[in-house]
């Protein structure tokens, strides 16, 4: 298929999609080096609980303002979130 862009230039688009720049649409290549390792265990900085992530998004929670590092879900709900709420309430007064 041949498309004409807004500048009057024509370009061939083999995928059938119109690209505003008038060129072929580039597909992103998967980079295996940038993927996080699922095999690395993560340790909670508050209770020392370790877990193996179920997927690349299961990396725990930010433990700030209680500690630096990652916190498990239990410590996040019991310690981190209440500390954040306390900080917000103290800032308002």
pLDDT tens track for 14-47: 555 554 555 555 555 554 444 555 668 999 999 9
pLDDT tens track for 39-73: 689 999 999 999 999 888 889 999 999 999 999 99
Phi, then psi, of 35 in degrees rounded to 5: -70, 140
Q: What is the pLDDT of residue 34?
A: 47
Q: What is the DSSP letter of 34?
A: G
């Amino acid at each position: 298929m041949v498309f004409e862009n807004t500048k009057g230039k024509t370009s061939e688009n083999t995928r059938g999609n119109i690209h505003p720049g008038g060129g072929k649409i580039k597909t992103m290549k998967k980079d295996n080096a940038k993927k996080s390792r699922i095999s690395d265990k993560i340790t909670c900085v508050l209770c020392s609980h370790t877990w193996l992530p179920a997927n690349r998004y299961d990396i725990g929670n930010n433990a700030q303002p209680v500690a630096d590092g990652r916190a498990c879900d239990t410590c996040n709900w019991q310690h981190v979130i209440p500390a954040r709420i306390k900080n917000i309430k103290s800032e308002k007064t």
